[in-house]
Structures are given as C-alpha cells and as structure tokens.
Structure 1
Amino acid sequence: MISRNVALCAATAALLAACSTLDRYTGQVRRNNTATGALMGAVGGAALGYATNTNKSEEGRTNALIGAGIGALAGAGIGRYMDRQEAELQHHLAGSGVGVIRQGENIVLQMPGDVTFALDSAAIQPRFDPVLDDVAAVLNRYPATYVDIVGHASADGSDAHNQVLSERRALAVGDYLLSHKVLRARLFVAGRGESEPIASNATQQGRAQNRRVEIILRPHTTT
C-alpha cells in the first residue's frame, strides 16, 4: 500500500506540471491538464467528491437540490419519473454504443472507453460530443436525479496510472455536463481505477469492457 501511494503521489505530481486554470468544481485554481482528476482525488482513494462548492456530503447534495427548488420524489412517483427518463435515454442513445441499464430505481449509463476516449487519453473524442449533448439534454429535463460519474480502467498498466486515468476521464465527462448546464449540485465524481471490473482482464475483449465511464442516475428523495 505504501508503494502504491508513493506511485500515486508521483503520478499526481507529474499531472500538475502545466499552466493553471479555474476549476469549475471547486472554484479554485488548478493545473491545466485535460480534465485532471488528481487535484480532487485523495491519494489512494477512489472518491473525488461532490461537485458543489458548498456541500461535501450526500446530505449536503440533497439540501442543495431542495435549495435550488428541485422537489424530492416520493412514493409511486419515483418509479414513473425514472421510467420516463430511462425511455428518453434509450431513445436518444440507441446505436451510440452507450449501454442504458436499469437497476431498481437507478439508471446506469455505461460509456465504453474506446468509444468515448482515444487510447490512454482523457480527452473526449469529438465524435462523442453529440452523444453527451443528448445525455445532458435529458438530464436537464429530469433535474430530480443525482448524477454520479464514475471512471473505471482495465488492468493494463500500473495501478497508479489506471487510478489517475479513471479520475481524469470521469472529470472530463463531468466538465462536459457542467458546460451544458447540468446543475453542479447534482454531481458526484469518482475514479475507481481497475478495482471494479465487469469482465475478465485476462482477455482483450474483457479489458475493453472494463475501460469505461459510468453515469449512475439516482432519484432525488429525502430518505
């Protein structure tokens, strides 16, 4: 664990060697790497954090949405709301390569890394912009959902590299959604590195599946 943390520190230091810009998540100055997640990530930790400037917890995010005038869902209305949102996402994302998966009341959008990003890059490919435009448009029509953006990597490369890359990719997607008016208080951004595979890393196909960004949509409730 110590050696991994040292490696992560080294990777983070390397990412910081660039000019500064304003971070839209924190309002603070950060280095100008493409969607650099290292500035928000704790060394060795998966969570980058809540995107709102003032609330740093799940309860804070709930309160922020209520404060923004977004009412909480309740009872049978939860299922109906998520059903409509899922149907719109299925319609707009058909043929895009993005998987739309229903898990109870939650909706998971699986964005394959080879579709969203170039190899070993956190820069969103221009051809994927229209897909994220559609995602942002649907999210803005359904504001009563939390938006968790989680980056994942395959086992290719070192743990440290994969952790930082997963963070940077998640932040790139989060930055894009913010630039398309998705409410900041809804967002949580995390990088899981190679710790949560959905397929075997022993095959090329499995590793390709593991390289992904997931957007998890959860209903905004008070419980």
Structure 2
Amino acid sequence: MMKKLSIFILSLLVLQACTTADPYTGEDKVRKSVKYGAAGAIVCGLIGATKNSKNARNAAAGCAAIGAGIGAYMDHQEAELRRELQGSGVQVVRQGDQIQLIMPSNITFNTAEFNIKSSFYPSLNSVAKVLYKYKDTVLDVIGHTDSVGNDQDNRELSNKRAYSVADYLAAQGVPGERLSPLGLGETQPIADNNTEYGRSQNRRVELYITAVQ
C-alpha cells in the first residue's frame, strides 16, 4: 500500500511540474502529451507495485512492448509527414516518441497578423491529412513571437496564431478534442532576438504530436 501511494504522489508531482499557466485565464494547463504520458506511467507503476514479483516483471515487459509499438507508429507518421511537407518550409523534428512541426511565421502569417496565408493552406492540408489518418495522437499547438513589442501584445498574437492553426486543422477533419492551442509570446526563444535572423526564427508556431499511450 505504501509503495502504491508513493507512486501516486510522485505522479501528481510530475503533472504539477509540467503545468503551464494560461496567460488569459490564470488557470494551470497540463499539456495533453504530458497528461497521457503520465497516465501510462501510473498504470504501469501501479501494476508493478501491487502484484507479486513475477507479475511485476510481466507487466514491465508488457509496458516495454507498448512503447515499442508506439515508436513504430510514430516512425510511420514521421515518414509520411516528411514526404508530405518536403519543400514546404515546415521543419519536422523527431524527439523520442514525439514529433514536432515547426512552422515559421514568414510562411504562415503576414507581419503582426494571425490570419493564415492562403499560400500555406496546401501545407496545412497535408498536415491535416496525416493527422486524420493517425488518430491515436494528441496535439499541442504552441504559438511564439520574437521580443519586439510588449509582452502582453506578443502573448495575445501568439495565442491567436496558435488558435488559427488549430481551428484550421479542425476544419479539415482533425477532432478538436485532440488539439490544445496555447500562446507563449516571447518567453521561449530558440535564437538571438538581437538579430533579424534570430527574431525570424523565434516567430513561429510549433505543433507537438504525441501518441496516446
């Protein structure tokens, strides 16, 4: 019983550590990818904690098999996304069992606007086609800006851009309950905001695709 309780408390701490405050409501939000990943860890951990050693070993082997299956599932999805998005300007980055799509704002939006450029529709249509096919995933759509302008305006712009991408994907058939849009403004730069090139890299929308375990 104490072992089960310890695992449960640890899981709650993991969820708390991976929580992001919504800048508009003030409420804490847990990314869907974190939530589902932690849920899988809880299930496997409780099996091991409540069964005898033989069953615990079998449970661990089962969890490993599930993980291998997820890896293959994401491999196929990654390959299709790379094929569909070749030459589009969208970067496809693989991080373990998660796929990240990086969409620079210069190909998705006009300056200081959140309406998607019509020239980018074909690329988003390709993304939606693959996401619709691979249904066992959840999607975090995260908007970012450079450091030009005030923080509140940047958060609002990044949030609107994230919702624009999420809404478009939903309109192409990706269920809305799989999509979790959020704007983080200028808080997570990936390049130097003191150069034009760096600022162009920081203005982006990122889509994190994570398998439901």
| Aligned match for 1:180, one of 168, 172, 177 | 172
State TM-score, norm by structure 2: 0.72
| Aligned match for 1:192, one of 164, 175, 184 | 184
| Aligned match for 2:210, one of 189, 197, 218 | 218
Per-residue CA deviations over 1:15-55 (Å, capped at 9, x if unaligned) read xxxxxxxxxxxxxxxxxxxxxxxxx85256795987xxxxx
State TM-score, norm by structure 1: 0.69
Give the count of matched residue pairs. 164
1:47 and 1:140, CA in 2 relative to 1: closer, same or farther beyond 3 A? same
Q: CA deviation at 1:75?
A: 2.8
1:48 and 1:220, CA in 2 relative to 1: closer, same or farther beyond 3 A? closer
Higher RCO (CA-CA < 8 Å; seq separation 6+): 1
Point out where structure 1 has 5 or more consecutive residues left out of the alignment.
1-39, 51-56, 63-72
| Aligned match for 1:42, one of 20, 24, 27 | 24
Conservation of the 8 A alpha-carbon contact between 1:48 and 1:189: no
How far apart, in 2, do the equivalents of 1:47 and 1:149 lie? 13
How far apart, in 2, do the equivalents of 1:172 and 1:42 lie? 17
Letter of the 2:169 partner, please give it. Answer: L
Conservation of the 8 A alpha-carbon contact between 1:106 and 1:218: yes
Tell me the residue number matched to 1:36: none
Q: CA deviation at 1:148?
A: 0.6
1:110-121 to structure 2, matched below 5 A, reads 110-121=102-113
How far apart, in 1, do the equivalents of 2:141 and 2:99 lie? 12
How far apart, in 1, do the equivalents of 2:122 and 2:30 lie? 26
How far apart, in 1, do the equivalents of 2:25 and 2:179 lie? 21
| Aligned match for 1:157, one of 149, 155, 170 | 149
CA RMSD of aligned residues (A): 2.3
Q: Secondary structure of the equivalent of 1:124?
A: coil
Which structure's CA Rg is the greater one? Answer: 2
Letter of the 1:209 partner, please give it. Answer: Q
Letter of the 1:97 partner, please give it. Answer: G
How far apart, in 1, do the equivalents of 2:103 and 2:29 lie? 19
From the two aligned structures, give the one with the greater helix fraction. Answer: 2
Letter of the 1:123 partner, please give it. Answer: N
1:97 and 1:205, CA in 2 relative to 1: closer, same or farther beyond 3 A? same
Matched, 1:81 2:63: no
Letter of the 2:187 partner, please give it. Answer: S
How far apart, in 2, do the equivalents of 1:169 and 1:74 lie? 35
Tell me the residue number matched to 2:129: 137
Q: Aligned residues: percent identity?
A: 44
